[in-house]
Amino acid sequence: GIQVEQSPPDLILQEGANSTLRCNFSDSVNNLQWFHQNPWGQLINLFYIPSGTKQNGRLSATTVATERYSLLYISSSQTTDSGVYFCAVVKFRDFGNEKLTFGTGTRLTIIP
């Protein structure tokens, strides 16, 4: 199956800093999503972004499908940004198996 690697595994930043999280995948994809899991376990869908760039407030994401990676940018980080960020993909034309494969996540801790 497709492999999804996220880096860094852990990131500790001061409030107000910017951060970049990376997701590499081993095959072509037609579906890529970013999720944030807060410290209480709630998982929120941040972006559906199989290609291109999207922005939502202080968060933006870019997927370069031809080079098999995606980046999640967090600007002016706040303590509420803490948690684990997951990237998940569906392999292109993996008919009958169109379910998301999740990476192992990046744990982000924002220090006040």
Residues that bind other proteins (CB under 8 A): 30-31, 33, 35, 41-45, 48, 50, 86, 88, 90, 98-100, 102-105
Which C-beta is closer to other proteins: that of 72 or that of 105? 105
> Of 15, 25, 42, which Cα lies nearest the Cα of 88?
25
Query: What's the closest the beta carbon of residue 76 comes to other proteins, in angstroms?
Result: 25
Query: What's the closest the beta carbon of residue 57 comes to other proteins, in angstroms?
Result: 17
**3-state percent helix, strand, coil for the chain, nearest multiple of 5:** 5, 60, 35
Which C-beta is closer to other proteins: that of 17 or that of 28? 28
Query: What's the closest the beta carbon of residue 81 comes to other proteins, in angstroms?
Result: 18
Name, in order, each residue with C-beta under 8 angstroms of 60's C-beta and a sequence gap of 6 or more. Answer: 53, 54, 72, 73, 75
